[in-house]
Amino acid sequence: MSDFLAQSYPWIKAFHIMSVIAWMAGLFYLPRLFVYHTEQVGQSGETHEMFQTMERRLLKAIMNPAMIATWVFGLCLVFTPGIVSWDEIWPWTKAGGVLGMTWFHHWLGLRRKEFMRAENALTGRQYRMMNEVPTVLMVVIVLSVVVRF
């Protein structure tokens, strides 16, 4: 298995990067949809239904598969011989960032379910503030991998 991972390393890394890009796009866009849903649409009517469809499709058709692919390809990279040394700090900070990103993904999923039940309790301002979470986590992850701090 480790021979396969070592030989496939460039491909695995490429697919990991592509899946991260797709996942991040959704993590940036879904909270923005929640801002507009909260401030412009409300929790009933045709536009509310349209926003629910957009939010559901973004989460289910793009974000969930991208998150799973990110994890699968990322774990393949972790298990590729010579790529990660757990004696260093950077893999731990990256892992913490990825866990934070995964938590945020699931937090967004819970908010979407609240919109489905017309029980959204957060304001547009709160969603704007939460929209900064993936940016902070992205900075931690990228600096961890590239600078290896």
| Residue 103 pLDDT grade (very low, low, confident, very high; cuts 50, 70, 90) | very high
Domain total in the chain: 1
Q: How far apart are the C-alpha atoms of 93 and 103, rounded to whole Å? A: 15
DSSP state of 122: -
Q: What is the pTM of this model?
A: 0.93
Range of the structural domain that residue 52 is part of: 2-146
Q: Kindly report the backbone phi and psi dihedral angles of residue 109, in degrees, each rounded to the nearest multiple of 5, phi listed first.
A: -60, -40
Tens of pLDDT, residues 49-94: 999 999 999 999 999 999 999 999 999 999 999 999 999 999 999 9
Helix (H) or strand (E) holding 140: helix 133-146
